[in-house]
Amino acid sequence: MKRRDFLKASAALSLAGCATPGASRARVVVVGGGFGGATAAKYLRLWDPGIDVVMVERAGSFTSCPISNLVLGGNRTMEQIRHGYDGLRKRGVQVVQDEAVAVDAAAKVVKLARGGDLRYDRLIVSPAVDFFFDQIEGYAASQDRILHAWKAGEQTIALRRQLEAMKDGGVYVLTIPVAPYRCPPGPYERACQVAHYFKLAKPRSKVLLLDANPDVTSKGPLFKRAWQELYKDIVEYRGNARVIGVDAKSMTVRTDFDTIPGDVLNVVPPQRAGDIALKSGLITHNNRWCDVDWRTLESKAVKHVHVLGDATLSASGMPKSGHMANAQGKVCAAAVIALLNDRAPDPNPVMSNTCYSFVSDREVIHVASVHQYDAAQNTLLPVKGAGGVSSARSEQEGAYAWSWARNIWADMLA
Amino acid sequence: MRLSVLLAMAFAVLPLGATAQDSAARSLAASCAACHGSDGRSVTTEVIALAGLPKQHIVSQMKAFRDGTRPATVMHQLARGYTDAQIDLVAGYFAAQRK
């Protein structure tokens, strides 16, 4: 009997009051409980309750990177960006707090740090990014004083404390790696949030952006206008400024040309797919990213393993964003359900993206796009004539942005 | 019970043997959910719920966003990314959801 038929039979049996035999149900293991993984776990259960879903996540709760810049700016709290996994548990997702340390693709088993193996029929890996600390000299020895805060959580709290402790008249230095990196507009939003805080609390202070890219990589004219109109004497932007070294003793960062002192050094290193992707052979491109089939999110390197979110080799015009990971989680969930039920996956998946950035406590700008599958090129492509950015920053979009956060958190976790 | 009887029961109570078009509509509608809530049930008051809205209303509003007759901050940019057939599927899906 094919699984499809067996499921129908077992569903009928359970309706008739008999127990569903557990051993023969398909099992999907999801590694990572962020925007990609949690969304995939929820939608697998929402769309096919006949599948057993186990989600492995090392943190006990979810902390959102989107909105975390507002915590740095003092406009939102950690409590507002932290959410538990009880909603997923109620949907029947088995949440395991542990770290996946290896994948045996031949045996279809994930190995966990605390011991124990998880067998899977399909594995979904949503590992976020990890950092190339070694590309910045001195970083490894400086991590108690120099933070990235590019994963929301303890570092968000610690960086906020550094900003609060900084004297009025101090300099906050934020350094940005060469694209692609997680959340293209994130650094520029962070500059706005810190500048907003300085404007209110320590107005003689400065925000210095050192960008390894030649120019602002996302919503450039809108961010520059906000810096000019809202934070004229606070924000300074320098392009083509790649950081190659840091020194926590002298509190300086070194670029190819200069050594620059600061009172708070926020150094965001270059990034690649998260460690578990590296360890399990999912990284295919440039030692950094995981190439996938965009109809299913299945890895091009390892069969029956799907990769989501920032770790993927992004398709054309596709940002590494939480919204995009959420969209990928749904396309992947639908494809995995189809594959486990011996059906063909949707040949024409569609994804959309809307990234909001808070340029003050209330005013917001966005960038949006829609991505349709192009069969000739075997990839997702942004639809020409669709998408775009805000005409101007506005409080109306501020209301929509906070609504976006609450809806997408519920969409992945509730 | 014979298997064929079980299968018949399963088909009778489970519309989950969804057609390709049904699952395409569901997946398309899911791309709206990040902002408008899972299955169109928004958890905020700032962004409207789409669940249970009349199909023709959703279609006409998407077309109004697309041609600019209804002003928007972002929906005009998103509406232009979907074909008429896709908008029809999405609208039908949300119209069939409970509010």
pLDDT in tens, A29-82: 999 999 999 999 999 999 999 999 999 999 999 999 999 999 999 999 999 999
| Confidence grade of residue A21 (pLDDT, cut at 50, 70, 90) | very low
- What digits encode the pLDDT tens for the residues A246-305? 999 999 999 999 999 999 999 999 999 999 999 999 999 999 999 999 999 999 999 999
Question: Which residues of chain A neighbour B17 with C-beta distances below 8 Å?
Answer: 8
* DSSP track, A123-134: EEE---EEE-GG
Is residue A49 located within the same domain as residue A155? no
ipTM confidence: 0.91
Q: Tell me the shortest Cα–Cα distance from B12 to chain A, in angstroms.
A: 10
- Do A219 and A105 lie in a common domain? no
Task: Give the best residue of A222, A411, A412, A413 to mutate against chain B (max B CB count within 10 A).
Answer: A411
Domain with A204, as residue range(s), is 131-271
Fold of B19-95: Cytochrome Bc1 Complex; Chain D, domain 2 (1.10.760)
Higher-pLDDT residue of A95, A15: A95
Q: Which two structure tokens, joined as six digits, stand for A299?
A: 């890895």
B80 contacts A385? CB cut-off 8 A: yes
Distance CA A143, CA A145 (A): 5
Query: Residue A171 forms beta bridges with which residues?
Result: A206
Q: Are A301 and A284 in contact (CB under 8 A)?
A: yes
* Residue A288 forms part of a structural domain: yes
> Which helix (H) or strand (E) segment is A88 a member of?
helix A86-90
Domain-embedded: residue A414: no
Query: CA-CA-CA-CA torsion for B12, B15, B18, B22, nearest 10 degrees?
Result: 140
Q: Is A16 within 8 Å of chain B by CB?
A: yes
**Cβ density class A195-213: b for 16+ within 10 Å, e for less:** bbbbeeebeebbbbbbbbb
SS3 A246: strand
Chain B residues in contact with A403 by the CB 8 A cut-off are: 35, 42, 44, 46-47
Q: What type of residue sits at position A261?
A: P
Chain segment A99-111, per-residue pLDDT in tens: 999 999 999 999 9
Q: Which residues contact B91 (CB under 8 A, 6 or more apart)?
A: B55, B56, B58, B59, B62
Give the per-residue pLDDT at B18.
54
Task: Give the nearest partner residue to A396 out of B7, B20, B73, using CB atoms.
Answer: B73
pLDDT in tens, A333-351: 999 999 999 999 999 999 9
Q: What percent of chain A has pLDDT over 90?
A: 94
Cα gap A358→A367, rounded to integer Å: 12
Same domain, A123 and A139: no
* Together in a domain, A153 and A261: yes
Q: How far is B18 from chain A (nearest CA, A)?
A: 10
The per-type count for chain A, helices as H runs and strands as E runs, is 11, 25
How many residues would you count in chain B?
A: 99
Closest chain B residue to the Cα of A8, Cα to Cα: B10
pLDDT at residue A173 above 60? yes
- State how far the Cα of A361 lies from the Cα of A269, in Å rounded to an integer: 27
User: Best of B4, B26, B46, B93 to disrupt the A interface by mutation (most A CBs within 10 Å)?
Assistant: B46
Any CB–CB contact under 8 A between A12 and chain B?
A: yes
Residues A256 and A158 in one domain: yes
Contact yes or no for A88/A62 (Cβ under 8 A): no
Q: Is pLDDT at A85 greater than 70 in this prediction?
A: yes
In a domain, A379, yes or no: no
* Chain B residues near residue A400 by CB distance under 8 angstroms: 35, 46-47, 73-74
- Of the three residues A271, A293, A321, the one that is the final residue of a domain is A271
Q: Which of B38, B67, B83 to mutate to test the interface with A (most CBs of A within 10 A)?
A: B38
Flag whether pLDDT at A157 surpasses 80: yes
Kindly state the average pLDDT of the residues A364-369: 98
pLDDT at site A62: 98
Reduced to 3 states, what is the DSSP secondary structure of residue B77?
Answer: helix
Phi and psi (nearest 5°) for A17?
A: 100, 5
Each residue's pLDDT, cut to its tens digit, for chain B (99 residues) gives 444 544 444 444 444 445 778 899 999 999 999 999 999 999 999 999 999 999 999 999 999 999 999 999 999 999 999 999 999 999 999 999 998
Per the structure, how many domains does chain A have? 2
Distance of CA B75 to the CA centre of its chain: 16
CA A324 to chain centre: 9
CB contact under 8 A, B47 and A386: no
**CATH code of the domain in which A245 resides:** 3.50.50.60
Q: How far apart are CA B83 and CA B66, in angstroms?
A: 11
One domain, residues A220 and A150? yes
